[in-house]
Every structure is written in C-alpha cells, then in structure tokens.
Structure 1
C-alpha cells in the first residue's frame, strides 16, 4: 500500500479516535453525582437567597454611610464618624447590647441521671454545631455562659474542659443568650430549634437542650478583652 495512503489513514483514524474520546468524556456521568432530591435543592437555594439578601442589606447600609459622609457638612462629619465607630464596636462585640432574642439552657437529662447514666460536659463539637445553627438562622449576637462570642472566639477542649474564649464553661446548666434583628426572627429561631432533630444530638449525650420562649429584651455583655488581629496595624498620629 502506498505510504501516503497509510499516513492519511493513520491521521484520519487518530482524529476519529480523538473525537470519540472527547464525546465520551462529555456524555459520561460525573464521578460524584448530586443525589439531592428537589426538596433538598430548594432548601439549598433558599439558603443561598438568604445569604444574597443579607449581602445586599449590608451593601445598602454601607452605601448609606457613604452618602452621609458625602452629603453632610464638614462640621457634622465628626458625628457621622462617631456613629459609625459605635456601630462597628457593637458589631465587633465591644459594647453591651440589648434586643429581642431567646435564652437556651443546656442541662443534664435528669431521667437519665436517675437511671444511672453518666453525665459528661457538653463537647466542643456539639457546642460549635449549635452556634453554627444559630448563626444559620440569623442569630446576631451570642453569649455562652457569660462569654461573648466574637469573630475571634475559639470553642475548644483544653485539659478536658470545654472552653469559650479560653475560659472553661460550666459542666452543667450552660446558659446561652441569643439576640436577633427582630422579635419575629426570635420567634422563627425558637420554632426552628424546637422542631429540629438537632436536639436529639444533645439527648444522645445525656443532655437536654431547653429552648426559651422569645423575649423582647435580652441583654448580652460586651467582650471583655482586647480583640486580636493579624492584618490591621494602628497608625499612630504624629
């Protein structure tokens, strides 16, 4: 057979094989399939919409601050700056705050105690999961056993004790205060925690998670330490 013909057949075969391989990779099923049903997908979409709405609200709030700086006279800029600083301190946890919310109590399940079950303190993992659930349902400020939760808060085990901000919490009857944006959101958080199977995780550890009724006034103390940061450096005035 002519060498040119062989070469052409080889090139055509290579191209056809490459096209088949590309088509196979295009239509084959992914290695990790999304097995969520439509209801779970709707829930995930709802959570993303909540995050989107929260981000839009934050953007609008920041735009409002910018507009205040632009529209105010020079002599009023000090007041605007002061209000901004106070707001940032509150968001960072450096100020005492009062607002609508709920109080949660974690205590030993007495019926299990009476039956001879041993009661261990709440684990850091379980407490961390609870904080995440509260944040997911728009808990704005949190205090655990008198310790304000801020962005630098660590919940961990130190020498066998569960600690918040490096301070050991009570081994039983731990009180958690939560403040939300509004009384309606406090009601929603209360309803969610009351019907959630998440409470079963506490009962498995021989603990009761008691969700208090929504309150119009809950007070949370300020973070009583200096906030640490790795990236911001205070510029001293000359």
Structure 2
C-alpha cells in the first residue's frame, strides 16, 4: 500500500515539476527579433525579386521551346530538333560567342617587378574567387587565357601548376575575357570589378588586375574539351 502511495506521489511530483519547468521556460524565452536594418532588408528583397525574375524568364523560354515543338513538330521535326540542339550547344559553351564585354589582364605588380620578385603561378583558389565574383552577374561568359569556362570547368593545381579545363595557365601576365548580355550589364560589371576588394587579394600575391574599358564586341572561343556526361543516360524510345 505504501509503495503504491509513494509511486503515485512520485508521478504527481514529476508532473508538477515538468509543468513548472515548462512555465519557467516560456516566461524566460526571449523572442528573437530581426536586427537587420532597412537597407539590408531591401537588399534581400532585391535578391529575391531577381531570382523571381530569372525563374519567370526561364519558364518563358521553356514555354517558347514547347510551343515550337507543338506547332512545328508535325510539319518539320528535324528542323526544330536541330534548332534546339544548337541552343543547347550555345548554353553549354560549345560555340564561339560574341558580345559586349571587358578584358582583365592579370600581371605582376610594379613593386614585384622593381624588387625582382619571382612571379609564380596564380593560386587556383584566387582564380576561383575571381570567377565566382564575376559570376554574380547574369548572362556572363568567360575565357581564361583562351580556355572557355563552362559548368564542368575545373580550376585546380596539377603537379604544382594552375590549370583550367586540365590545361596549364601561363605565368602572369595573361588575359581573362568576359562578355555579358548587354552594354549596360558590361558597364555594371566594369564598375563592380573596378571597386572590388579582389584587387587587394591579388596584390598580396604580387599581382594586379588591369581592367579594359567596356567594348561593344568581344569574341570568346568555344570550349574544345570533352564534356563530362558520367551521370547522363540516354532516354530509350518507348
């Protein structure tokens, strides 16, 4: 009888303790407030609107492609298929591209030259950071020392040499050509890179970036390597 009373009493005390702890937690929990200022919130909203705009453009492009297939496929299926293949080749960087752009020349700093400092390969991580900085803009195409940058491009160190697409990049100076969709975007990219902190990062490695004025026409070579299709499978006909 005593054991039963003690057990019940223990359960009651456990329940009461749990309720008190929960109440204490609720009272002492401070609501997390959004501490961002108006400018930061506006920037976040701008990024979200940009993503939304990009998605709408992509949906519109896909709808247009679908409309071509449904409207012309019955009349001339080979022509519409060839057109789609060419569009995909352009997206994959397999064709030469010409458009508004700028040229970056990576060269040794004046101090390094004056002091006779030996200029070695540009570090792969520094080159990757530059590529990521440029890719913040839409519609960008790029070629580093004649090597076209595509989705499968690898920038890495191979046996002590910095390589792009498996090809060694020459010791500075070398050029990076960049095109965009319009002169307006090119000017924005020019202004952004001119004021970028990347110059300080390059200077630490005894390098500088010289940026050309925006050009109306700049031509980039096509990607001439093998695309990695390891994870792609051919669709079998039903």
Pairwise TM-score range, normalised by the shorter structure: 0.7 to 0.9
Which residue in 2 is equivalent to 1:145?
145
Inter-CA distance 112–63: structure 2 relative to 1 (3 Å threshold)? same
| Displacement of 1:182 | 1.3
Instruction: Give the alignment of 1:184-203 within 5 angstroms.
Output: 184-203=184-203
Which residue in 1 is equivalent to 2:157?
157
- Unaligned 5+ segments in structure 1 are none
Q: Is the 8 A contact 2:102 2:215 kept in 1?
A: yes
Q: Distance in 2 between matches of 1:49 and 1:197?
A: 26
TM-score by length of 1: 0.85
| Displacement of 1:3 | 6.6
1:86 aligned onto 2:86: yes
Inter-CA distance 57–3: structure 2 relative to 1 (3 Å threshold)? same
Which residue in 2 is equivalent to 1:63?
63
1:223 aligned onto 2:223: yes
TM-score by length of 2: 0.85
Which residue in 1 is equivalent to 2:54?
54
SS of alignment partner, residue 219 of structure 1: strand
1:63-103 per-residue CA deviation (whole Å, 9 max, x = no partner) reads 11112212336123332222211111001011111111111
Q: Is the 8 A contact 2:153 2:165 kept in 1?
A: yes
Inter-CA distance 38–157: structure 2 relative to 1 (3 Å threshold)? farther
Instruction: Give the alignment of 1:108-147 within 5 angstroms.
Output: 108-147=108-147
Inter-CA distance 78–118: structure 2 relative to 1 (3 Å threshold)? same
1:213 aligned onto 2:190: no
Inter-CA distance 21–148: structure 2 relative to 1 (3 Å threshold)? farther
